[in-house]
Amino acid sequence: VKVSGGGETTITDNYGVFLLSNAAFTGDFCYIKAEKNGYFIGSNTVHGQAGQELLTEITMQAQDNIVVYPSGEAKEIVLSNGSVVSFPANAIKTLDDKPYTGNVNLTSVYLDPTAANFAQVTPGGDLRAYNAQGQDVMLYSYGMVGVELRDDAGNQLQLADGQKADISMPVPTGMQGKAPATIPLWYFDENKGVWIEEGEAKLQNGKYVGTVSHFTYWNCDVPGNRAKLK
Q: pLDDT tens digits, the chain, 230 residues: what are they?
A: 999 999 999 999 999 999 999 999 988 899 999 999 999 999 999 998 888 899 999 999 999 889 999 999 999 999 989 999 999 999 999 999 999 999 999 999 999 999 999 999 999 998 999 999 999 999 999 999 999 999 999 999 999 999 999 999 999 999 999 999 999 999 999 999 999 999 999 999 999 999 999 999 999 999 998 777 78
pTM of the shown model = 0.92
Please, what is the Cα angle at 197 between 7 and 104, to 5 degrees?
75
* Separation CA 188–CA 197 (nearest Å): 9
| Closest by Cα among 120, 111, 114, 136 to 194 | 136
In this structure, the number of other CB atoms found within 10 A of the CB of residue 183 comes to: 23
Residue 193 backbone class (left: φ over 0; alpha: ψ -120 to 50; beta: rest): left
